[in-house]
Structure 1
């Protein structure tokens, strides 16, 4: 049945509906409710921002798909706590000494460089080179800011909740490695943007 809705709006609406169902399922009986709140507040904020601005600025379907990856991974991490996500198959296969699911989550944060670059390009706010650099530096700044927030929460919450939210798993270079993963994720999608983004990105 034709709803009269533009075809381009159906995919993000479908994606949003699936995510709400997924998020709702994982909101039930998480491992640690206080950590769940801390991990899910950013998800709620990003999701609501995208919903509220949808009619004013509609990103490409690829941009929405990339943004959804982080929301899904972060929702999983919020349910189990990142250090305890069932990731044993990958850990055992590569012989890792720690659960690296959090690294995957951080890598996906970098995917938000794509919609940032798309927004700047379509609004014609900057030269293509400046657009890419701004998107990359924005993610790097966000990564550093989030590590500071993790530190503050760990200190304020203390105990097991603080340790689980920090998720360092004994790695003294955890914060630096997380920021590197964010940066690598951003670089990856900016290369993708060079070939798939708006034509005036060239």
Structure 2
């Protein structure tokens, strides 16, 4: 794939994520919850767009960033615990909770590929066990940081409705641990499935720095 082709795909991904963001902002279940849920994705997208000419990721990383942003926009629009498809799954399989948040944290494991790319391109690390170990550690650290932020928001807002929706515990006292475990599993799976593809794209798309 040529440079021009990659740029066209990147532009298409930007248009898709922008369209979903606009949809998400139209009459969400709660604007306060929506703001809390989508803010991290919006900040991340702004950073990625602003640095596009200075640090251009592979198309795989941009696809992952798009998927994660869309996942957060959908969760913000409906509230994670009330996403319709996962309400249907809950009812169909007689589950105790809506599992969209668990699904979301599993997907967040895909971010391991983005972290892998940053480390390979900006540090002396090379492919191998140490790279895998550090990427997994960073993924888990980010997941833990996100849980701490959720807790702090709940404390600062003194347990308001928006904060409860943001936490999304749904009565499970082990929700935080489950979320971090899902992210770790997602990261392991992402590295196992996508590392070879990622290596090929790094060779094809990235100019040596």
Report the counterpart of residue 104 of structure 1 in structure 2: 103
Number of residue pairs matched by the alignment: 198
Deviation of 1:160 (Å)? 1.4
Q: 1:8 aligns with which of 6, 9, 34?
A: 6
- The separation in 1 between residues aligned to 2:139 and 2:122, in whole angstroms, is 19
- The separation in 2 between residues aligned to 1:49 and 1:133, in whole angstroms, is 26
Q: Which ranges of structure 1 fall in alignment gaps of 5 or more residues?
A: none
- Comparing 10-19 with 189-198, greater Cα deviation is found at 189-198
Aligned structure 1 segments of 4 or more residues deviating by more than 4 angstroms: none
TM-score, reference length from structure 1:
0.91
Report the counterpart of residue 175 of structure 2 in structure 1: 174
Report the counterpart of residue 89 of structure 1 in structure 2: 88
Q: Which ranges of structure 2 fall in alignment gaps of 5 or more residues?
A: 203-209
Q: 1:20 aligns with which of 14, 18, 21?
A: 18
Distance 1:181 1:125, change over 3 A: same
Report the counterpart of residue 154 of structure 2 in structure 1: 154
- Comparing 24-33 with 187-196, greater Cα deviation is found at 187-196
What RMSD, in angstroms, separates the aligned Cα atoms of the two structures? Answer: 2.0
Deviation of 1:124 (Å)? 5.6
SS at match of 1:56: coil
Mapped contact 1:34–1:161 kept (Cα < 8 A) = yes
- The separation in 2 between residues aligned to 1:198 and 1:84, in whole angstroms, is 38
Mapped contact 1:118–1:198 kept (Cα < 8 A) = no
Give the structure, 1 or 2, with the largest relative contact order (CA under 8 Å, sep 6 or more): 2
